[in-house]
Amino acid sequence: DPVRYISNHSSGKMGYALAAAARDAGAEVVLISGPVAIPAPSGVEVRNVTTAADMLQASSEAVDAGCDLFIASAAVADYRPQSCEADKIKKTSEQMALPLVRNPDTLATIAARADAPFTVGFAAETTDVARYAIDKMQRKKLRMIVANDVSVPGLGFNSDNNAVTVFWPDGQASIGPDSKQRIADRLMVLIGDHLDQAAG
């Protein structure tokens, strides 16, 4: 309704650090961002979105325009409320049920394109991190996936630090715990090596 929404703990820090790392590596960067409270890195083109559908549209347009590498670190909601009320919902019964419907999956949609760029996903997990991340990489047809255990206090959502394990079809590498910026810088080197290999 006009005064309430469903969200999560994502601050955008990991994604913004990746955008800065890609810029520093010499890339032309388009940063597609949901609402956050941190400044965007300088020298990158920012497209602001608020819904999962907007994120898919902005991402599709960026890939249409030409893109070698697509990294998805946003914590996009898997479901959204079926309807949005024009006026504030009033308190009535002791319980209420809010029907949710599936959101489009930007990452899977981009990776499924015939002209897909080298596509890297993230996996935010709380248990069986490696198993779920590898399953996501295979299901969504990704070249690499960056897994983080978001149940560890002080890491992951909203913190300045993280620890990740990157998986690709025949290997893996762990980075951190470290600052999100240093992790992003090291991720960019690793992803760049794989991108170069894929380009032959």
Least distance to ligand PMT, CB of residue 116, Å: 13
What number of chain residues touch ligand PMT (CB under 6 A)?
26
Site string for ligand PMT, 40-59 (x = CB under 6 A): ------------x-------
CB 111 within 8 A of CB 142: yes
Instruction: Tell me the backbone φ, ψ of residue 79, rounded to 5 degrees.
Output: -130, 155
Nearest CA to 60 among 123, 102, 122, 112?
112
For residue 166, what is the DSSP state?
A: E
CB 43 within 8 A of CB 26: no
Q: SS3 of 46, please?
A: strand
Query: Does position 156 bind ligand PMT by CB under 6 A?
Result: yes
What the block records as the tokens of 156 is 């992951």
Query: Does position 134 bind ligand PMT by CB under 6 A?
Result: no
Query: Does position 124 bind ligand PMT by CB under 6 A?
Result: yes
- A 10 A CB-CB count for 180 gives 26
Least distance to ligand PMT, CB of residue 105, Å: 4
- Contacting ligand PMT (CB under 6 A), which of 33, 119, 148, 181? 148
- Contacting ligand PMT (CB under 6 A), which of 60, 103, 172, 179? 103
Is 8 part of the annotated catalytic residue set? yes
- A 10 A CB-CB count for 56 gives 20
Query: Does position 119 bind ligand PMT by CB under 6 A?
Result: no
Of 8, 48, 161, 162, the active-site residue reads 8
Of 13-32, binders to ligand PMT (CB under 6 A) are 13-14
Instruction: Tell me the backbone φ, ψ of residue 43, rounded to 5 degrees.
Output: 80, 15
CB 149 within 8 A of CB 129: yes
Least distance to ligand PMT, CB of residue 188, Å: 15
Helix or strand run (H / E) with residue 143:
none
Cβ-based nearer residue to ligand PMT, 83 or 158: 158
Residues at the contact surface with ligand PMT, assessed by CB under 6 A: 10-14, 52, 72-76, 78, 103, 105-107, 121-124, 136, 148, 150, 156-158
Instruction: List active site positions.
Output: 8
